[in-house]
């Protein structure tokens, strides 16, 4: 018997090699996330840190994005922050996890992996899971290419 599970995550990831040291890529993406995120995530139409904390675990932000023609608002928090290695965001108002992984590929190269997990999907949307996953990956590809371009 086939059972649909609302809690089964829908995942997407994309990676890109950037000709910059990991320190520089991490600084741009993670340390200056509140300033730079709207520059590479072009679907974000409103973005604001909401608790005036420095960017660290527990810092909060609110965003509005245009996804598939619909405005979607969400609040998230920084859930993990590991210098030169990881920035992870967890949705508070929507069930998602978004992470940026940084891996040194030598002195002047960084492998950046952008991963998004939709932690829940309404049952009526499960038949479209593959399309949703493809849309997530397409958005991630656009974002990491924008990051690379901004760092060039």
- Using the predicted structure, report yes or no on whether residue 70 has a pLDDT greater than 80: yes
Q: 119: pLDDT confidence band, cut at 50, 70 and 90? A: confident
d(CA 121, CA 10): 8
Cβ atoms of 129 and 4 within 8 Å: the answer is no
pLDDT (0 to 100) of residue 88: 98
Look at the domain 16-151 and name its fold: Alpha-D-Glucose-1,6-Bisphosphate; Chain A, domain 4 (3.30.530)
Average pLDDT taken over every residue of the chain: 90
Please give the model's pTM, rounded to 2 decimal places.
0.89
Domain boundaries along the sequence of the chain: 16-151
The tokens for 88 are: 């992870």
Describe the strand order of the beta sheet including 96-104 as a list of residue ranges.
Answer: 10-18, 110-118, 96-104, 86-91, 70-82, 60-67, 44-49
């Amino acid at each position: 018997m086939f059972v649909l599970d609302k809690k089964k995550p829908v995942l997407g990831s994309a990676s890109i090699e950037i000709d910059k040291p990991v320190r520089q890529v991490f600084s741009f993406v993670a340390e200056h996330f509140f300033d730079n995120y709207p520059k590479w995530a072009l679907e974000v139409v409103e973005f604001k840190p909401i608790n005036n904390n420095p960017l660290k675990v527990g810092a909060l932000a609110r965003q509005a994005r245009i996804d598939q023609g619909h405005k979607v608002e969400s609040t998230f928090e920084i859930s993990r922050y590991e210098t030169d290695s990881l920035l992870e965001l967890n949705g508070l108002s929507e069930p998602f996890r978004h992470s940026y992984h940084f891996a040194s590929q030598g002195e002047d190269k960084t492998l950046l992996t952008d991963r998004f997990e939709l932690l829940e999907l309404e049952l009526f949307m499960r038949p479209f899971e593959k399309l949703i996953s493809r849309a997530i990956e397409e958005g991630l590809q656009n974002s990491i290419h924008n990051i690379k371009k901004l760092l060039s």
